Amino acid sequence: MRESEFYSALDWVFPSQGRSLIQDLVLYSLGEQTPQEALNAGMDPQRVWDALIRAMDMPEKYRFAHRVKPDDRQAWQA
């Protein structure tokens, strides 16, 4: 996952809260950092994404949300 894919998936999966979520949610699994701090420190975006998905108790398939093409997103979420 590239960082640009991280932000695209964030905006899709958490449309109204994603940007504030990654700035405010401190995750133990990221070394007691927020996802934004972890990304700024150079942590792998996939690792950060996986931690966020687990923390938000999302279904496992969301780990791979960045691979879903925009045209397929509505059907994929069903």
Give residue 41's identity as a one-letter amino acid code: A
Find the mean pLDDT for residues 38-58.
Answer: 97
In this prediction, residue 78 carries a pLDDT of 61
| 6-42 confidence digits (pLDDT tens) | 999 999 999 999 999 999 999 999 999 999 999 999 9
Query: The whole model's pTM is what?
Result: 0.89
CA pair distance 78, 74, nearest whole angstrom: 7
Residue 18, SS3?
A: helix
CA pair distance 17, 42, nearest whole angstrom: 23
Q: Mean pLDDT across the chain, nearest whole number?
A: 93
In this prediction, residue 9 carries a pLDDT of 93
